[in-house]
Structure 1
Amino acid sequence: MNVPYDERQHLRTAVQRQPADFIAWVMLADAELGAGDLDAGERAALRALQLRRDHPEALARLGRARWMQGRHEEAANLLRHASRQVPRHPGIALWLGHALEDAGQPEAAADAYRRAHALLPDEAYVAAQRLNWQRRLCDWRGLEALSQQVRGAVAQGNPAVEPFAFLSEDASAAEQLACARQRAQVIAASTPRLPPPGPRRQGPLRVGFLSNGFGAHPTGLLTVALFEQLRANAGLQVHLFALNGDDGSRIRQRLQAAAHALHAVAGMPHAAIARRIRETGIDILFDLRGWGGGGTPEVLAMRPAPLQVNWLAYPGTSGAPWIDYVLADAFVLPPALEPAFSETVLRLPRAFQPSDNTRVVEAPPARGECGLPGCDGNGGGVVFCCFNNSYKLNPRSVARMLEVLRGVPGSVLWLLSGPGLADERLREVARSQGIDPSRLVFMPKLPHPQYLARYRHADLFLDTHPYNAHTTASDALWAGCPVLTTPGRSFAARVAGSLNHHLGLDEMNVADDAAFIATAVRLGNDPAARAALRARLASARDTAGVFDMAGFARDFAALVQDLVGRQAHAGQH
C-alpha cells in the first residue's frame, strides 16, 4: 500500500488531536508501514491495541509490522488469531498467507490464499498471490483459470498484479510491460520526488547499487567478484546500499571489503534511504532488486540519483518512469524486444550477467549419498538435473523433462526440493504420465559450496520455460554441467540462452519442445557426445569471457563512465 506523505502527516495530526481515535491509529499504522517506517507502524498498531485490546484489525496491523520486521512466527500467530475472529476478512487472510509462507508453513499459506480468493474471487491481487504460491507448491489445480484471470486483469489495466510473479506466466514482453507500468504508476502517484540534485562532486564517479541481496543470496553471489575487480579502478567508487541485514556470510564479508562503503539501510523508511543515497552523492544508481520481493521501488521513485538503471535482479522491464536505462546484452534483449521496455537499452559486449569466478567446485559426496544411481559403465545412470526454484516447474516444463526420462532408460531427474508437498505432487505427475516416481530425486537446499559440488554428478541441466535458470544456469556452467534451453520471447526466457551463446554453445539453445526432448535424449544415450560437450564447455569457461570478471569490470566501468559523461555534457547545453 502506498500512502502519500501528506496523508501520513494528516493522520499523525489526527491522532495527536484525538489520541483515543482507534480507526485513525489503524490507518496510521497502514500508512507508516506502507512508507517503510516499520518502527512508526509498530507503534501505531500497539497504540490501537491499547485502545481496543485483541481487536482483529489492530492485531492484523501488528502482525503485518512483525512480518515486515522479519519476525515471521510472531506475525503468523498474531494474524492467525485475528483471522479466527473474523474468518471472512479477505485482507487478513491474505496477510496471514504472507506470514505463513515466511514462517515455514507453506501448505497452511496456500489454504489462507485460497480462503482469501474465495472471499474476493474477482480481486486480481488475491488471485495472483494464490497463483504464485500454487506454482511454488507445484499445485496445478485450476492453474490455467487463475492464470487467465491474472492476465485478463493486466490487459484491463488493473495495477494490482505483482510484476515479479507475472514473469512466471506465459505472457508476452508487451504484457509484462503493461503489468510493470501499471504498478509503477500507482507508486509514482503517491511518492514525492526529492528536489533536483546539486552540481556533481569532484573526484571519482560514485556508483551506487541498491539491493536486499548483499549476502549469501543470488545477487551477492553474482556480483561479489565484479565489485572486487571494480575496487581497483581509481575512477570509480562502489557504494552498496543493503536493504538486508548482515547474514554473517563469507559473501557479505567480501562485499563489505570490496565496496568503498556498504551502507546498512535495512528497516529504514523509504525517504531516509533516498536521502542517504542523495547525501552520498551517487552519480548513477543500479537497482539490483526491481520488482522482486524485498525491493523498494518507492526509494527509486524519489529520484535519489540523477541516473538510475535496472540491472541483473529483475529480468524484465521496470515499466517505471524513474528508471532511465536497462543494462542487458544483444542476446537477452535483442532489438525486437526493445518496444516492450520503458527504459533506454544499454548493452554490454558480453553476457549481461556477472558471476563469482573465484569459487572452487569441491568434490561431492558419493552418488549413493545423494540418492543417485551408480554408473553401470554402459552409459546407464544418466543424471538430468534442474535446480531451479519450484515455481518455474510448470506443467509444460515438467512434461518435456519426463519425456526425456522416457527416452533415456535408467536415467533420473534431479530436482531441488520444493516447499510443502511440492515433491510429492511432482512424483504424482510422473506416476500419472507412466514414469516411475522413484526416478525423481530431490536435493534439499544446501549451503552454496555443497550445492555447487553436486553438479559434478549431473550430466545435463534441463532448463524451464518461460522462466529460465538465471543464477542457477551460471552455477551449472561454472561447475561444468551443460545447460539445454529453449530461448523464448521475453528477457526472463532468454538468460540461459545468453550464457550459452556467449560461451559459443549455441547448439544448446534449441527452437522448441520437440528439439529440446530430441537433443536431451540423444545426449543422454551417447556418452561420447556428452563427454565432448563437457570438454567444449570446460574450454569455453576459460576462454569465452563469460566468467572473465576483470574484462567484465573494464567493460562495465567504460559503459558507466561514458553514460555519466554524456549526461554531464548534455547538462551543459
Structure 2
Amino acid sequence: MSMDPQRAQLRMAVQRQPQDFIAWVMLADAELEAGDTGAGDLAAQRALQLRPGHPEALARLGRTRWMQGRHDEAAALLRQAANLVPQHPGIALWLGHALEDAGQPEAAADAYRHAHRLLPGEPYITAQLLNWQRRLCDWRGLDALAQQLRQAVAQGAAVVEPFAFLNEDSSAAEQLGCARQRAAGIASGVRALPATRVRAQGPLRVGFLSNGFGAHPTGLLTVALFEQLRLLGGLELHLFALNRDDGSAIRARLQAAASTLHDVSALPHTGIAERIRAAGVDVLFDLRGWGGGGTPAVLAMRPAPVQVTWLAYPGTSGAAWMDYVLADRYVLPDALAPAFSEQVRYLPRAFQPSDNTRVLEAVPDRVACGLPERGVVFCCFNNSYKLNPRSMRRAFAVLQGVPGSVLWLLSGPGNADARLRAAAREAGVDPSRLVFMPKLPHPVYLARYQHADLFLDTHPYNAHTTASDALWAGCPVLTAPGATFASRVAGSLNHHLGLAELNVADDAAFVATAVALGNDPRAMTALRAKLAQARADSGLFDMTGFAVDFTAQVEAMTTERGWQGR
C-alpha cells in the first residue's frame, strides 16, 4: 500500500536534511498518526538527540511510549515536557492521557483541567475534561461543560470522541453529527485500498476487528457465539486482535474457535488493513467502533468489501466506509434508523450475544463481601462515568424509600467513591449505605450477584455487558429506556427475556418500582423466579440459535446489493 503523501515528504525531508529538528518532530507525529510506533519512536529519538531536553521532542517520545503501552515512562516524559512549557495545552492534554493509563486518575484530571484553562474554547479538550470528571464522579461545573460540548458539536466544527459523547444527554441526531465530524477527520488522512468484491464460491470469510479479544467485555460476550459458529461451519472466522495475548482462558477459547486468530497488535494501520485484505475477508465486523483502542483508520482503508459495526459501540459510526449496523428492533427501532449512517440489519433476537457456558462460583457470605447481614441489596456495577447526577439521584431516592437497604457499587478511580459518599450525604442518605466492591476477576465478580436483589440501571448510558452479567447470574435489571441506542440496551435484554415490567417509562416510575419491590419480599422473590425461568426459556442466552441467525444476516449482507466492492 502506498504511503500517505505527508509521511513520504517528511521522510524525504529528513533524508535531505538530517539535522532538521522540526522535520523530525513532524515526522514523529505523522508516523504515530499512521499507527507506526516503531518509526515514530525512531523519529522522536532522533529529534531528542538533536535537541536534548527539548520539550517538543520529549513530548513526542512520551506520546510514543504511551502508544507502546509503556505508561509510566510516558507519564514521566510528558510531565518533564509539561514542566518546561506549562503554557502548552497540547502537551498538557497528552500528559492527561498518559496519567490515565499510568493509574494516576486525579493527576490526569488536573492535567485536563490545566489544558482547559489554557484553551477553554477547544471542544476536544473540553470533552476530555468532561469525560474524566464523569469517571471521577467530580460533578463540579458539569452542566456548563456539557452545554459547551453539545453547542460545539451542533455548530459542526468540533472534533469530539463519539464514545465520550454517549455519556451526554444528547439525541441520536446529535450523536450522528458528532460521529460524522470525527469520521471526516479520519477520512481526510487515509487512502482506500483498491475495491474488491465478495467471493463467488466457498464459505464466506468473516473478519472481526477488536482490541477486546481476551478477558475483556467483547471477548466475554462473543466467545460462546464464535464457538457455535465454528460448530455450525457455514462461515470461516478470522479474528484480528489489536491487543496482545493476555494469557486468559477466554483468549485461548477465541483462538480455538477461530479459523485464524491474527495478532496485529504490533502492526501500523496500513499493515493491519493489508493483513485483512490478504486474508480475503468478505465481511468485516468492527467490534470496537469509536471506543478507545479502536482503529477507525483501518476501516477507512476499506480492507473488506462489506463492513459492519456491531456490539461494542452503541451508536452510529457516521462513517461512509461502514455499510451496515447489526441490531435488533428494540434497541434500534425504526424511529432511530434515520440517525444512523449505516443501513440497519436486524437480528430476530437481542443484538447482544453472551457466554452461556459460565458457571457461577460459590460466593462468600454477605459480611465477607462488605454487605450488612440483612436488608435489601440494590446494585449497580456500571463504570463510574455512567454514575451521573441523574442516575444517582434516583438511586438515592430508592434507598430513602427502602429502610435498611444498601447500594452496592463498583469502586471507581481516584477519589470517586468518596465523592459519591459525599453526594449521598447531601441527598440525606447515610454514606455508609453505599458499599464499594473492588475490581475482581470476572468469575469472582459474577458470583457476587447472588447477594444482589435488584440492579438499578443508569441513564443515558445503560448497563450493557454488565446487564448481561446480572441477568445471567439471576439478578433482575430495572431500567428506563431512552431514545438512543446506548440508553436502550438493558431494555432490549429485558424485552427479549419477557420482563417488560422492568422497562419503565421515566425516573418517577423507576423509583416507585424499585421501592415497591424493595418493600415486598414476596414480589422480589417472584421476580427472581420469573427471571430464572426466562433465562432458560427465552432464547436470550441461546448461542446455537444466535449462530444460525447471525449466519443468515451475514449471507444477506453479501447478496442484497450484489456487493462488487467500493
- TM-score range (shorter-chain normalised) is over 0.9
2:469 to 446, 468, 475: 475
Question: What's 1:119 paired with?
Answer: 118
User: What runs of 5+ residues in structure 2 fail to find an aligned partner?
Assistant: none
User: Contact 2:535/2:541 (CA < 8 Å) preserved in 1?
Assistant: yes
Q: Secondary structure at the match of 1:286?
A: strand
Asked whether 1:65 is paired with 2:64, we answer: yes
Question: What's 2:143 paired with?
Answer: 144
User: Contact 1:363/1:456 (CA < 8 Å) preserved in 2?
Assistant: no
1:429 to 420, 423, 427: 423
Alpha-carbon deviation of 1:232?
Answer: 1.4
User: Contact 1:384/1:462 (CA < 8 Å) preserved in 2?
Assistant: yes
Question: What's 1:299 paired with?
Answer: 298
CA distances 1:264-299 after superposition (whole Å, capped 9, x unpaired): 000311011001101100010000000000000000
In structure 2, the CA distance between the partners of 1:177 and 1:198, relative to structure 1 (3 Å rule), is: closer
CA distances 1:20-55 after superposition (whole Å, capped 9, x unpaired): 000000000000000000100010000000100011
Aligned partners of 2:180 and 2:556: how far apart in 1? 28
Aligned partners of 1:259 and 1:159: how far apart in 2? 39
User: Contact 1:386/1:414 (CA < 8 Å) preserved in 2?
Assistant: yes
User: Contact 2:75/2:102 (CA < 8 Å) preserved in 1?
Assistant: yes
Question: What's 1:218 paired with?
Answer: 217
In structure 2, the CA distance between the partners of 1:273 and 1:201, relative to structure 1 (3 Å rule), is: farther
Question: What's 1:271 paired with?
Answer: 270
CA distances 1:457-490 after superposition (whole Å, capped 9, x unpaired): 0000000000000000000000000000000010
Aligned partners of 2:163 and 2:181: how far apart in 1? 13
Q: Secondary structure at the match of 2:232?
A: coil
The one-letter code matched in structure 1 to 2:150 is R
Q: CA RMSD in A?
A: 1.2
User: Contact 1:36/1:267 (CA < 8 Å) preserved in 2?
Assistant: no
User: Contact 2:197/2:564 (CA < 8 Å) preserved in 1?
Assistant: no
CA distances 1:506-564 after superposition (whole Å, capped 9, x unpaired): 00000000000000000000000000000000000011010000000010011111221
Alpha-carbon deviation of 1:571?
Answer: 4.5
Question: What's 1:362 paired with?
Answer: 361
The one-letter code matched in structure 1 to 2:266 is G
Q: How does 1:88-487 map to 2 (within 5 A)?
A: 88-197=87-196, 200=199, 202-375=201-374, 381-487=375-481
Q: How does 1:421-570 map to 2 (within 5 A)?
A: 421-568=415-562
Q: Secondary structure at the match of 1:190?
A: coil
User: Contact 1:97/1:113 (CA < 8 Å) preserved in 2?
Assistant: yes
Aligned partners of 2:398 and 2:486: how far apart in 1? 23
In structure 2, the CA distance between the partners of 1:482 and 1:115, relative to structure 1 (3 Å rule), is: same
Aligned partners of 2:363 and 2:231: how far apart in 1? 34
Question: What's 1:378 paired with?
Answer: none
Asked whether 1:42 is paired with 2:41, we answer: yes
Percent of residue pairs identical: 75
Q: Secondary structure at the match of 1:517?
A: helix
Q: Secondary structure at the match of 2:188?
A: helix
Aligned partners of 1:80 and 1:201: how far apart in 2? 55
TM-score by length of 2: 0.99
Name the stretch that deviates more: 233-242 or 290-299: 233-242
Aligned partners of 1:233 and 1:25: how far apart in 2? 52
Question: What's 2:18 paired with?
Answer: 19
Q: Secondary structure at the match of 1:241?
A: strand
Alpha-carbon deviation of 1:145?
Answer: 0.4
CA distances 1:277-327 after superposition (whole Å, capped 9, x unpaired): 011000100000000000000000000000000100000000000000000
Q: Secondary structure at the match of 1:263?
A: strand
Question: What's 1:5 paired with?
Answer: 4
CA distances 1:248-276 after superposition (whole Å, capped 9, x unpaired): 00000000000000000003110110011
User: What runs of 5+ residues in structure 1 fail to find an aligned partner?
Assistant: 376-380
User: Contact 2:305/2:564 (CA < 8 Å) preserved in 1?
Assistant: no
State the number of aligned residues. 564
